[in-house]
């Protein structure tokens, strides 16, 4: 393992801890040099120490003061949108690559299966949101074979898997995901909705994607979506279609007709994301897809 492939993680909560364990257990290209948090009693920092990872509870300022920081090439930020803005300013002088798992969206949006090659040289890339990582690929798959006039997604996650960071960033979630549907997915107009499902036992992440398009070849649309599902599943094994893609006409007095320019097709895609259960429970697919996608980006960045 060379020093150029060492990473640091900011945030010792659920996402940061799961990411650390993923790197240690599954990555052949990366090593965790350090983890930074702000709670000295956090389970994440305690686990990191037990796994031989250097730690600090003094946040990003503590991280940059650590001797291990000199060897770090990529920093993964699993804090919050507000904290990331501060962390990015502190890290900027050091020339490290920054992978942002919050909805802060300082850097370009990256969804590995769609546009990873376009932004590997960027100093700060944003992983959109869990809903974005799950649904933007589907919108992109449709838009590469038929112009998407409108895309709407509903991300339903277990209430238990929505921690304080997720709950504090609901507005950022909807705004960031909507923009990513347009900027990365290729939709002319995007809308995102998140549902915190209180069901017991907790249900795994479910995502519904609606794309309003003009005339299209149904076979081409389904084939494009199937290929994209396979591309995402290559780094998120629990990502899958829940049922066959549905396509129906939109015309006349259909409420969607104005979005279709008078007439067109509605493509409906139903997904589920099961977590790998490295640290988080399997129902927390919303968190697993974020850490899996961030790991894929960090591996590619560190290899440059």
Residues recognised as catalytic: 130
Q: Answer yes or no: is 115 a known binding residue.
A: no
Q: Answer yes or no: is 162 a known binding residue.
A: yes
Q: Answer yes or no: is 286 a known binding residue.
A: yes
Q: Answer yes or no: is 164 a known binding residue.
A: yes
Q: Answer yes or no: is 275 a known binding residue.
A: no
Distances 264 to 98, 150, 181, 191 between C-alpha atoms, Å: 41, 11, 19, 19
Are 30 and 6 in contact by the 8 Å Cβ rule? The answer is yes
Query: How many CA atoms lie less than 13 Å away from 271 in the CB half-sphere?
Result: 38
The closest of 288, 241, 291, 292 to 268, measured between CA atoms, is 241
Distances 197 to 68, 154, 159, 191 between C-alpha atoms, Å: 41, 12, 5, 19
Are 24 and 32 in contact by the 8 Å Cβ rule? The answer is yes
Q: Answer yes or no: is 134 a known binding residue.
A: no
Q: Answer yes or no: is 102 a known binding residue.
A: no
Q: Answer yes or no: is 126 a known binding residue.
A: no
Q: Answer yes or no: is 52 a known binding residue.
A: no
Q: Answer yes or no: is 12 a known binding residue.
A: yes
> Cβ–Cβ contacts within 10 Å for residue 32, how many?
24
Q: Are strands 31-36 and 6-10 parallel, antiparallel or unpaired?
A: parallel
CA separation for the pair 129, 163 (Å, rounded): 14
Residue ranges of the annotated binding site for NAD(+) are 12-15, 161-169, 286
Residue ranges of the annotated binding site are 12-15, 161-169, 286
């Amino acid at each position: 393992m060379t020093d150029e492939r060492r990473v640091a993680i900011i945030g010792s909560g659920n996402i940061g801890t799961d990411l650390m364990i993923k790197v240690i257990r599954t990555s052949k290209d990366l090593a965790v040099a350090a983890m930074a948090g702000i709670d000295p009693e956090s389970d994440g920092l305690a686990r990191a120490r037990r796994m031989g990872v250097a730690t600090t509870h003094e946040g990003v300022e503590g991280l940059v003061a650590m001797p291990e920081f000199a060897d770090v090439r990529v920093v993964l930020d699993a804090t919050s949108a507000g904290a990331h803005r501060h962390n990015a300013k502190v890290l900027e002088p050091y020339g490290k690559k920054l992978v942002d798992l919050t909805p802060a969206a300082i850097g370009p949006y990256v969804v590995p299966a769609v546009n990873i090659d376009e932004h590997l040289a960027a100093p700060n890339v944003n992983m959109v949101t869990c809903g974005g990582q799950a649904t933007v690929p589907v919108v992109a798959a449709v838009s590469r074979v038929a112009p998407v006039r409108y895309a709407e997604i509903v991300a339903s996650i277990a209430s238990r898997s929505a921690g304080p960071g997720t709950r504090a960033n609901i507005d950022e979630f909807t705004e960031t995901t909507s923009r990513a549907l347009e900027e990365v997915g290729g939709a002319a107009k995007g809308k995102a909705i998140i549902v915190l499902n209180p069901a017991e036992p907790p249900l795994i992440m479910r995502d519904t994607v609606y794309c309003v398009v003009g005339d299209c070849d149904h076979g081409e649309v389904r084939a494009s979506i199937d290929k994209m599902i396979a591309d995402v599943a290559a780094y998120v094994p629990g990502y899958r279609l829940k049922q066959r893609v549905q396509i129906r006409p939109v015309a006349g007095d259909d409420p969607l007709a104005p979005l279709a320019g008078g007439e067109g097709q509605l493509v409906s895609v139903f997904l589920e994301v099961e977590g790998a259960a490295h640290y988080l429970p399997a129902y927390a697919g919303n968190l697993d897809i974020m850490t899996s996608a961030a790991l894929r980006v960090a591996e590619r960045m560190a290899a440059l």
